[in-house]
Amino acid sequence: MIRFIENIIRSAVNETIDKAVTRMIRDQYIENLFEMVPATTKVGPTNLMEIAMRANQGTPVSRPLGSPIHLSPWEKILFNPCHLFRFPTPENVGIRTSITIGHRAKKPLTISIPIMIAAMSFGGALSKNTKIALAKASTAVGTATNSGEAGLLREERDSAQLFIGQYNRGGWMNTPDKYKQLDAIEIQLGQGAQGSTFQRTAAKNIGEEFREVFCLDKGEDAVIHSRLPGVNTKDDFIQLVRRLRDETGVPVGLKIAATHHLEKELDIAVEAEVDFVTVDGAEGGTHGGSPTLQDDVGLPTLFAVSRASEFFARKGVIRDINLIATGGLVTPGQMLKAIALGADGVYIGTAAVMALVSEQMVKAVPFEPPTSLVVYTGKMTDQLDVEQAALNLTRYLNACVQEMEHVAVTLGKTAITDITKSDLCTIDPFIAKATGIQLGYISSENQDRFFTETEPMFDDYHSPYNQNLNVLPVYTESQDRETNPDKISDQV
C-alpha cells in the first residue's frame, strides 16, 4: 500500500517538475519564474527580502543578531604549532585559562575562562528566562555575564556570580543603588551593530516587568539616547570614570563601537584611566538594529583588536587597561586569535544564544525561528527550559575553552594569556602589513626582504584605489587576479 502511494507521489512530482522545467525553458524571462534566480543572485537573498520588508513596513527593518557580512578575515590567520625548537606542553600540565580584569581597581574581577557573555539586555533584547539561563551558565563556568543596556534585573543579578553592568545611555543602571551591586561597570557609549545612534522600544512592546526594571511610566517608550546623559565633553567622561571608580572600587570600563577613529577615542579612555575597554567590531550583533547600521557602519573586529592593542602598547598601558574584544566571534579559533592579537578576553552574544537554544530550537522550527524562544518579544519565551538552556551553554563554553587549550598545548604554552601575535602567521600580505603578523609564505628571516622586493607590486595594486581613498584596500585574491593577473603568479 505504502509502495503504491509512494509511486503516485513520485509520478506527480515528476510530472510537476517536468512541466515547470519545460515552461522555464520555453517562456521568455519576462514571464518566467526562473527570473527569481538571477534576481536573487544579483541582489542577494537577504537584500531581496529586506527590500520587500522595507516596501511593506515603510520603516527601517529591525534585523536581529547583527550583520550577515563578515569583514574580519580570521580564516586567513593561522596558529603555528611547535615540535622541537619549543616543545608542546605535556598533557598532564593544566592550561591556565583565567584572566583578571582591572588590576588597578580596588576589587579586580577574575574570571576562570577568557570568554564572557556579551551585553544583551533584558527587555530591549532578551526575555527574563533567557537572561537567567545565561547568568546560570556563566556562573557554572566561572565567568561573567553582562546586563546590556537595561535596569537591574534582580533575578539575573542573583543568578550571576560575576555580573558586569552597563552604565547606559538609557540611564536605567545609572543610580548608585543599582551600579553599586555590580562586579564591574561598563560605560556603554556605542556598539558595533548600531554605532552610537539612538534606539527606542515602543511602549506597546514593554510589559509590566520590563517597565518595573527600567522604572518607566505606563505608556512611556524606553529610549536609548545617542549620547550618555551628562556626558557632553571629554572632561565629563573623565569625571564620570573617576566618580564611579571612587564610589564602587570595581573595574570601570568603556564600551565603544570600533571605528576608524579608534585611537582618538582610546586616547581619552587612557586619560580617564579606565580599567578596561570593550571594542565591538562591525560584525557585532544586536537585538534588532537597522541593516544599514549593521552592514555599513564600523570597523571589523580583527583590525579593531589589533589597532587597540598596538595603541595600548605604544602608550605603555597594556598591563593597566584590559582589552575585551567582541563582535561576530563565533568559533573558539576566532576567539583565540582575538586573544593572540592582544585582547585579554572576549564577549560572545549570538553564539551564546544559539548554544542556549540549540537543543530546544525544535520547539520553534519549522513554523517560528529559534529566536522566538529567547527574544523578549518572542512568541514562545515561556517554553524555554531554563535549566536545559543553561546546561547547553555550559557545555558549549566548556567545549570552546577545551579547544583553546588544545591550541595552547600545540603552541607549547601553559596559559591562554601567553598566546601572542608571534604564535600566528597569515597567508595575506596586507593583513601581515596591517597587523604585524608574519607572512606565512616565507621564513621569518626573509619577511623584510619579501616586502622590500615586492613593494612596487603593492604600489601598483593600491594606486588605482589610492587616488580617491588614500587607504590600502583589503586584499582579496580575486581582486588581485582581476587587477594584476601576472603579479599574483609571481607572488605565489
Residue from 46, 98, 181, 410 binding other proteins (CB under 8 A): 98
For position 388 contacting other proteins by CB under 8 A, the verdict is no
For residue 322, the surrounding DSSP H or E stretch is strand 322-326
For the chain, the straight-line distance linking the first and the last C-alpha, in angstroms and rounded, comes to: 62
For position 398 contacting other proteins by CB under 8 A, the verdict is yes
Residue from 61, 105, 111, 425 binding other proteins (CB under 8 A): 111
Cell of 415: 596559559
Q: Concatenate the DSSP letters of all residues of 407-420 into one string.
A: HHHHTT-SBGGG--
For residue 473, the SS3 value is coil
Amino acid at position 285, single letter:
G
The phi and psi torsions of 222 (rounded to 5 degrees) equal: -95, 115
The phi and psi torsions of 117 (rounded to 5 degrees) equal: -85, 125
Give Cβ neighbours of residue 401 (< 8 Å, ≥ 6 apart).
97, 113, 114, 115, 141, 332
Q: Nearest to residue 319, comparing CAs of 444, 417, 463?
A: 417
For position 57 contacting other proteins by CB under 8 A, the verdict is no
For position 140 contacting other proteins by CB under 8 A, the verdict is yes
User: How far apart are CB 112 and other proteins at their closest, in Å?
Assistant: 4
For position 394 contacting other proteins by CB under 8 A, the verdict is yes
Characterise 477 by phi-psi region: left (phi > 0), alpha (psi -120 to 50), beta (else).
Answer: alpha
Helices (H), 111-196: 128-141, 154-159, 176-179
Question: Strands (DSSP E) along 168-313, which ranges?
Answer: 184-188, 199-201, 222-224, 252-257, 276-280
User: How far apart are CB 344 and other proteins at their closest, in Å?
Assistant: 14
Segment contacting other proteins by CB under 8 A, of 220-228, 247-255, 391-399, 445-453: 391-399
Segment contacting other proteins by CB under 8 A, of 40-48, 93-101, 310-318, 338-346: 93-101
For position 409 contacting other proteins by CB under 8 A, the verdict is no
For position 473 contacting other proteins by CB under 8 A, the verdict is no
Residue 413 contacts residue 95 (beta carbons within 8 Å): yes
For position 491 contacting other proteins by CB under 8 A, the verdict is no
Residue from 60, 68, 142, 473 binding other proteins (CB under 8 A): 142
For position 408 contacting other proteins by CB under 8 A, the verdict is no
Residue from 315, 395, 433, 487 binding other proteins (CB under 8 A): 395
Residue from 32, 40, 62, 112 binding other proteins (CB under 8 A): 112
User: Which own/partner pairs from 448-455 qualify as long-range (CB within 8 Å, at least 24 positions apart)?
Assistant: 454/429, 454/491
Residue from 14, 41, 110, 466 binding other proteins (CB under 8 A): 110
User: How far apart are CB 61 and other proteins at their closest, in Å?
Assistant: 39
Q: Would you say 60 or 108 has its CB closer to other proteins?
A: 108
Amino acid at position 399, single letter:
A
Q: Would you say 270 or 391 has its CB closer to other proteins?
A: 391
User: How far apart are CB 370 and other proteins at their closest, in Å?
Assistant: 22
Which residues form the interface with other proteins (CB under 8 A)? 94, 96-98, 100, 108, 110-113, 140-142, 391, 394-395, 398, 401-402
